[in-house]
A and B are shown apart, each in its own frame.
Chain A
Amino acid sequence: KNQVEQSPQSLIILEGKNCTLQCNYTVSPFSNLRWYKQDTGRGPVSLTIMTFSENTKSNGRYTATLDADTKQSSLHITASQLSDSASYICVVSGAGGGNKLTFGTGTQLKVEL
């Protein structure tokens, strides 16, 4: 069964600090991997999409990495801000398109003063 596992489940950091969120997946064959940010009470918003051939992709203070060989991805947040407090969801698409998206349960990040 295709799975996406995220760690840690939750994380608290001080404003201005960096953090790294992890995503391991078993989806195969693989098409692309996405990271979403979901604020409380809102729908998810896409941060990055990476295909098989991409190792890293940045979006402002967010940098995602992908190792398709080990089936691991990470999302690094630099110089965190209070507004970064949200759930970060890793989503993997299997090759073949359509609805083949497998969602992780997310990492709940809280940034404090």
Chain B
Amino acid sequence: GAGVSQSPSNKVTEKGKDVELRCDPISGHTALYWYRQSLGQGLEFLIYFQGNSAPDKSGLPSDRFSAERTGGSVSTLTIQRTQQEDSAVYLCASSLGLAGGPYEQYFGPGTRLTVT
């Protein structure tokens, strides 16, 4: 089927507003990852979900960031009270298993978030 999709592709928001970013993984992929890519920086891990296990939230930069994955499929990344330093491209990826193993990670096109 289709690859990983993300929406919106671009989001401009005012400082202090909340935003929700959506990720639709490849059907059947049990692992789902969120990353952040700032200009000139490498990808920064935020959170991952694996099956029914508790998500690994160790990469979330502050308690303003949270994510959910409903029904083992679609995931939403929420940023509350956005700050200018949150401006970045947010990438979602999914894989058949944990990416620490030999499983391919398939990335979505990303959501470009700009906080003004």
**Chain A residues within 8 Å of B41, by CB:** 105
Main secondary structure of the interface of B (DSSP, over half): loop
Cβ-defined contact, A43 with B99, below 8 A: no
The interface bits of chain A over 31-54 (1 if a CB of B lies within 8 angstroms of the residue's CB, else 0) are 110100000011111100101000
Number of A-B contacts (CB under 8 A): 64
Q: Compute how far the CA of A80 lies from the CA of B40 in the bound complex, rounded to whole angstroms.
A: 24
Give the interface residue-count category, chain A. 20 to 34
> In the complex the two chains form, what is the Cα distance from A45 to B105 in whole Å?
8
Q: Does B28 contact A (CB under 8 A)?
A: no
User: Could you tell me if B56 and A89 are in contact, using CB atoms closer than 8 angstroms?
Assistant: no
Assess whether B42 is in contact with A43, with CB atoms less than 8 Å apart: no
Instruction: Flag whether B58 is at the interface (Cβ < 8 A).
Output: yes
Measured CB to CB, the residues of A under 8 A from B are 4, 31-32, 34, 41-46, 49, 51, 89, 93-101, 103-106
